[in-house]
Amino acid sequence: MELSLSSTSSIVLVYDESKDMSSEQLAEYLNEDIRKVVLPTIIFVGIEMLLGFIGNLLVLYVFSFRYRVCNYKYFVLSLAVIDIFTTVTTMPGEIITQIYWYVYSAPLLCKMKSFCNVFTLTAEALCLLAIAVDRYRKVCQPLAWQIKAQQTKFICLIIPLVSALVALPTPFLWGERTLTKTFKNITGEVTICEKDEKFETTNYPLIYISLVSCVITSILLSMLCSYTYVLVAIIKERRLHKTMRLKQNIDTNPGVLEVSDKATDTSDVEKEDVSASSSSQQQLKIKHVLTPWRLNSTRLARRKRVRSKTMIMFSVTLAFIVTTIVYLILVSIIASSDDILQTLSDVKKAVYFFFLRLYFINHVINPFIYGVMDPKFKESLMLIINRITSRV
């Protein structure tokens, strides 16, 4: 979604007022000025594009070949595909828009970039919402119905279709538009990638932006509610485990073993069976007493893995929520006032453009989160690095 952005900053290029300036020259002057303003943003988006593409390719490789079939694997792969798609469509399109802001001459590229912008934002939000529901079921309702692996694959296939339907109006509402600009009493026309000229005087673009913003906001609220319940459940579960471990340490009843993450001591069991004449009977009793602990230990290990994956997905979701809220606020400010950018200095404009495109970080940060919080992913990356360095 692009909004009308105007520049009133002074042009630093030398201009001879005694000569006439054509409309094309005026557009070039204005474009050169705005290009210098947004140059830091162009560089920033370029770095995001490179890191996001390489990082998510590694995610695709590692999770495709080194992770067993599970919901976590499919959701991570789905996010990686969305992020790679963004790095090869939306981000390059945004860089081109920033470079040729007032001399845009690619109507098809403008429409496709606008479509991909809404498509990737919606797809990322829907995928993270599905992950939040899956984490809620596993943490808060572990004994109730769960999303199966086959259902997860179906959800990951449906998300792009739904996102495409949401973004479908974008190519019709957005496109090239001609504006009249004035510089030093000289008036000329510039071409920008913004609302299509057919809908320039209508409220359809604003209505569509409002509807999409409401949808994204509802998804964000749903994710926040889900993870609130999840985090509360995790805190309670950890407190319970701490209490049970403490109880085990002070329990003096012979032959009773409580749930513990540590290996149990069988010395009490052996003392209890000292009168038994058969060593086989003693081994049977030890096995009988240890079996519940082994089952509980396995369950604890499984719950620990669930909590670990939940915290990873929560970190990914939190980064998305924060940057998306910033993006929606900035878009809302511009939508509510057509001339607000005309009152900003070059520095303030540069800051605005930078934070407006900060939400691209969602498509870059995920591999770094996996590398820090997922030991298996980190181990796989180290193996890949060692193989590459050994060949060099």
Segment 343-378, tens digit of pLDDT: 666 677 778 878 888 888 989 999 999 999 988 888
Give the span between the Cα atoms of 86 and 94, in whole angstroms: 11
Q: In the chain, pLDDT over 90 holds for what percent of residues?
A: 33
pLDDT in tens, 324-347: 888 888 877 765 555 565 566 667
Residue 163 domain flag:
yes
Residue 18 domain flag:
no
CATH of the domain at 85: 1.20.1070.10
- Is the pLDDT score of 265 beyond 70? no
Answer with the residue of higher pLDDT: 349 or 257.
349
The closest alpha carbon to 36, from 56, 64, 61, 7, belongs to 7
Extract the tokens encoding 168. Answer: 């479908």
Provide the greatest CA pair distance for the chain. 117
Query: To which H or E segment does residue 178 belong?
Result: strand 174-183
Give the span between the Cα atoms of 268 and 284, in whole angstroms: 15
Helix axes 71-88, 23-66, angle to 10 degrees: 160
Residue 15 domain flag:
no
Residue 4 domain flag:
no
Number of domains in the chain: 1
The answer to whether 205 and 39 are in contact (CB under 8 A) is: no
pLDDT in tens, 221-256: 999 999 999 999 888 877 777 776 676 666 645 444
Query: Which amino acid, 299?
Result: R
Residue 14 domain flag:
no
Per-residue model confidence (pLDDT) at position 366: 92
Per-residue model confidence (pLDDT) at position 242: 72
pLDDT in tens, 272-318: 333 444 444 444 444 444 444 444 666 667 777 888 888 999 999 99
> How would you classify residue 63: left for phi > 0, otherwise alpha for psi between -120 and 50, otherwise beta?
alpha
Helix (H, G, I), strand (E, B), or coil: what is residue 105?
Answer: coil
Residue 16 domain flag:
no
Give the span between the Cα atoms of 304 and 262, in whole angstroms: 14
Q: How far is CA 36 from CA 65, 133, 189, 342, 346, in A?
A: 45, 45, 20, 16, 9
Helix (H, G, I), strand (E, B), or coil: what is residue 192?
Answer: strand
Give the span between the Cα atoms of 100 and 97, in whole angstroms: 5
- Residue 255 lies in domain: 23-391
Residue 6 domain flag:
no
The closest alpha carbon to 135, from 316, 383, 355, belongs to 316
At a CB cut-off of 8 Å and minimum separation 6, what does 34 contact?
5, 7, 9, 101, 102
Answer with the residue of higher pLDDT: 304 or 146.
146
